Amino acid sequence: MKYLPLFSILIFSFAQCFGQKGIFTLPLHGQQGIDYFIDNYPDHDTSKGIRDPYCGTKTYNGHRATDFLIRSFKTMDSGVYVYAVADGIVFSKRDGEYDRNKHMIIGRPCNYICILHGNKYYVYYNHLKNGSQLVKVGDRVKQGQAIAQVGSSGYSPFPHLDLEIRSMNGFGFIDPFSGPCHGPTYGLWLNEPAYDTGLYLIDAGFIPYAPNVDTLKERYMVKDTFCAPTDDTVCFWAQMHGLRKGYRIHAEWYGPSGLLWETFNYTWPLSTWNDYSWTYIPLPDKAGRWELRYFVNERLITVKPFYILPRKQNAHH
């Protein structure tokens, strides 16, 4: 008989105590940082502070789940499917709640599905799109099976999936990540997503009005060609990942001749992981190809062209 070394036995016992490793697939498909973004991890600080599983601040106080964000409500409307992270049985669910919330109002119930995976973990798939659920209580599901679509129901300011994992053995909430500041379990992903704290552009474009965050989440009237009298404003907006308090936002507007037309400067007031900035000018008289250059901390983030059509002339009778 072959015996394991004592060190190996201790490692095995530790893993058994704190959860089986590498059993979950991701609940959204696509590429992280393009198709979805992990913006809030579970909070491991038991005081009023915050600490994510990697000892950082990518969470908020008391958060007990992982938030998988998608780009916008327009993306949500296209139908972004949620997939079961493992084989299991549908334990409970809720549907019928409004799914286009844009503000975090306490007490709003969300559409959700709870699946019991492996007689070990209750996994809650929260904030689902109304009417999108593909399973019922008692159904057996397979790992990777589509079960619903991402929405923004309940206590939710943007379309996202809130994945909450609870243990059946009394440990309470479970953090599936393997960071050094993890809780009572760790490393449950078969292919763990990267811990992403980078500064980069998620999306950007132009609209013909001065916006607010709610309209930008919807992507109302995004276009790159403008003409009077239909339009009187050109607004550039940028959805950024990883803006930190004190970062310097700078934008430069260039006319068809390549001359600098206008500039915009702003100091970012708070640390956010997924947020919008914008700048706008009155519709210029000069037709042709224009250009917007957008910088953060003197780093060029994007160059976006837009077009001004000649003004319509009154017909002569």
pLDDT grade for 63, boundaries at 50, 70 and 90:
confident
Rounded average pLDDT over 157-173: 87
Lowest mean pLDDT among 24-33, 120-129, 170-179: 170-179
> What is the predicted pLDDT for the residue at 222?
97
27 & 157 share domain: yes
Q: Examine the pLDDT at 7 and tell me if it is beyond 50.
A: no
Question: Which residue, of 174, 189, 220, is where some domain finishes?
Answer: 174
Mean pLDDT of 89-109: 91
Residue ranges making up the domain that contains 278 = 200-308
Same domain for 30 and 162, yes or no, is yes
Q: Rounded to whole angstroms, how far apart are CA atoms 276 and 53? A: 26
Statement to judge: residues 48 and 153 lie in one domain: yes
Is the domain of 160 the same as that of 234?
no
Per residue in 32-61, pLDDT (tens digit) is 999 999 999 999 988 888 999 999 999 988
User: Do residue 248 and residue 148 come from a single domain?
Assistant: no
Clarify whether residues 170 and 208 are in a common domain.
no
Residue 125: inside a domain: yes
Does residue 4 have a pLDDT over 80? no
Sign for the pseudo-dihedral over CA of 276, 28, 99, 207: positive
| Domain contains 315 | no
Shared domain check, 30 and 154: yes
Average pLDDT, the chain: 89
Q: Please state, for a pLDDT cut of 70, what percent of the chain lies above it.
A: 90
| Predicted local confidence at residue 185, as pLDDT | 65
Q: Are residues 243 and 170 in the same domain?
A: no
- What's the pLDDT score for residue 208? 97
For residues 212 and 260, membership in a common domain is answered with yes
| Same domain, yes or no: 63 and 154 | yes
Phi first, then psi: what are they for 215, rounded to 5°? -70, -35
User: Is there a domain that residue 294 lies in?
Assistant: yes
In sequence order, the 6+-apart residues with CB closer than 8 A to the CB of 269 are 245
When pLDDT is cut at 50, 70 and 90, the band that residue 15 belongs to is: very low
Which range is least confidently modeled, 20-24, 48-52, 151-155, 257-261?
20-24
CATH of residue 268's domain is 2.60.40.1930
Q: Lowest-confidence range among 15-24, 78-87, 198-207?
A: 15-24
Domain of 153, CATH number, reads 2.70.70.10
Domain identity same for 144 and 209: no
Counted domains in the chain: 2
Amino acid 3: pLDDT? 33
CA–CA separation, 95 and 111 (whole Å)? 5
Looking at the domain assignment, is residue 170 inside a domain? yes
- Higher-pLDDT residue of 213 and 103 is 213
- 190 against 183, higher pLDDT: 190
pLDDT in tens, 110-150: 999 999 998 899 999 999 999 999 999 999 999 999 999 99
Using the predicted structure, report yes or no on whether residue 19 has a pLDDT greater than 70: no
Do 158 and 259 sit in the same domain of this protein?
A: no
